[in-house]
Copies of this chain bind each other. A is one copy, B any other.
């Protein structure tokens, strides 16, 4: 049984940004030498997500506006009594979920034709991390 662990660092230019990481996940699988197994890709923060969706800029604009509509920035969240201002980032993270598990078959990510992996930053402009852990044989 083999394991391979990598940490991806991000520092986005925007407060909210969606970064395609499919190639980095594929590279980690290749590096691991694992032919059969699973890869966990998981944000290590509570204000960022990881999601599988289409590599098409329009849909990501739609997703971004929709997240802001369902989980809007507001001043009056109770979390802000701590001095934070990012309660909406926590809620957006709940909507997208913060992780995915990707199947590995025959040494490759076993994804459908339009499935790509994205790191979803909801409180950026600072250094943040995601973990990639490949497990299999």
- A binding-site residues for B, Cβ under 8 Å: 1, 3, 5, 36-38, 40, 42-46, 51-54, 56, 58-59, 61-63, 66, 70-71, 77-82, 87, 90-91, 93-103, 105, 110-112, 114-115, 129, 131, 133, 135-137
Contacts and interface: CB of A to CB of B under 8 A. Distances in A.
B37 A46 contact: no
Number of copies of chain A assembled together: 3
A77 B56 CA distance: 12
**Interface residues of A, dominant DSSP:** mixed
Contacts of A37: 3, 135
Contact of A105 (B43, B95, B100, B133): B133
A90 B78 contact: no
Contacts of A96: 94
Contact of A78 (B1, B61, B77, B102): B61
Contacts of A81: 58
